[in-house]
Amino acid sequence: MGLYEVIHGRRDVRAEFTGAPVGADVLERVLRAAHAAPSVGLSQPWDFVIVRDRETRSAFREHVREQRRRFAESLDGGRAGTFEKIKIEGILEATLGVVVTYDPGRGAPAVLGRHTIADAGLYSVCLAIQNLWLAATSEGLGVGWVSFYEEGFLAGLLGIPDGIRPVAWLCVGPVSHLETVPDLERHGWRRRRPLERAVHHGRWGERLR
Ligand SMILES: Cc1cc2nc3c(=O)[nH]c(=O)nc-3n(C[C@H](O)[C@H](O)[C@H](O)COP(=O)(O)O)c2cc1C
C-alpha cells in the first residue's frame, strides 16, 4: 500500500476483529514504527505494554463497560439512543491489546522544547500511536483506540508505576475488512468536517474566495 492509501484507508476498528494470531515479526515491525516517531527533545517518553491475557482483558472490559454506562447516563434521550447502537471497544475480540504509556520524567528536567508547552510530551506519545496505527494498517491489521477508562484503574491493573500515564489501550489484530466510513459517521453520531473549514489563510477565519 502507498502512504496515502494507508492514511486514508486507516480506520478505528471495533467490530471487525477476527481474533486470528499476529506474527511476532509483524508485531515487531509495527512497534518499531511506533518507536521511530519524533519526540520532544528526543525524549521518547512512550512504553508499550502488550496484553494478551484474557483475564486481564476481561477485567479491563468490565471497567470500560462501567465507564460507558456513566457516559450514556450523561446523554439526553436522542443522543443516548444514537450512542446505544455504537460499539466502543473490541477488547476481547481483538488478538491483543497494546497499552501506550507516557513518562513525563524521561529526559527531564531539561527536555529540549518542553519548557513552555508541557503537553509536548503527550503529543510525542500520540505520534508514536499514529505511527503504530498506520504501520498496522499497512500490515493488514486493525487498531481500535479505547479511552473509556480511568487512568488509575488501568495503571493498577498493569502495574504501571506512579507518575507514568496510560495514554491509550489499543485493540490490535487481523480484521475481516476496514470500513470506508468512520463508525461514528455511519451511526449518525457525528460527521467529518471538510478540509476547507479547517484551513485558515494568514489569520484565523480568513478563507480563500
Ligand atoms: C484520542 C482518541 C480516543 C478515542 N477513544 C475511542 C474510544 O474510547 N472508543 C472508540 O470506539 N473509539 C475511540 N476513538 C476512535 C474515534 O472515535 C475515531 O478515530 C473517529 O471516530 C474517526 O474514525 P476513524 O478513526 O475510523 O477515521 C478514539 C480516537 C482518539 C484519537
> Which grid cell sits at 150?
480511568
Of 1-5, 45-49, 96-100, the poorest mean pLDDT is in 1-5
> Which grid cell sits at 193?
468536517
Ligand 1 atom closest to Cα of residue 13: 26
Bin 41: left if φ > 0, else alpha if -120 < ψ < 50, else beta.
Answer: left
Place of cell 528536567: 109
Q: Is the CB of 153 inside a 6 Å radius of any atom of ligand 1?
A: no
Bin 108: left if φ > 0, else alpha if -120 < ψ < 50, else beta.
Answer: beta
Report residue 54: phi and psi, to 5°. -70, -35
Query: What is the length of the chain?
Result: 209
Distance 7 CA to ligand 1 centre (A): 15
Ligand 1 atom closest to Cα of residue 86: 11
pLDDT score of 209: 76
Q: For the chain, first and last CA: distance in Å?
A: 35
Q: Is the CB of 16 inside a 6 Å radius of any atom of ligand 1?
A: no
With the most atoms of ligand 1 within 8 angstroms of its CB, the residue from 61, 89, 127, 145 to mutate is 145
With the most atoms of ligand 1 within 8 angstroms of its CB, the residue from 68, 98, 147 to mutate is 147
For the sheet with 141-146, list strands across it: 46-51, 96-102, 165-174, 141-146
Place of cell 477476527: 18
Mean pLDDT of the chain: 97
Q: Is the CB of 167 inside a 6 Å radius of any atom of ligand 1?
A: no
- Evaluate whether 58 touches 92 at the Cβ level (below 8 Å): yes
pLDDT score of 1: 79
Q: What percent of the chain has pLDDT over 90?
A: 99
Q: State pTM to two decimals.
A: 0.97
Domains contained in the chain, CATH given: 3-198 (3.40.109.10)
pLDDT score of 154: 98
Q: What percent of the chain has pLDDT over 70?
A: 100
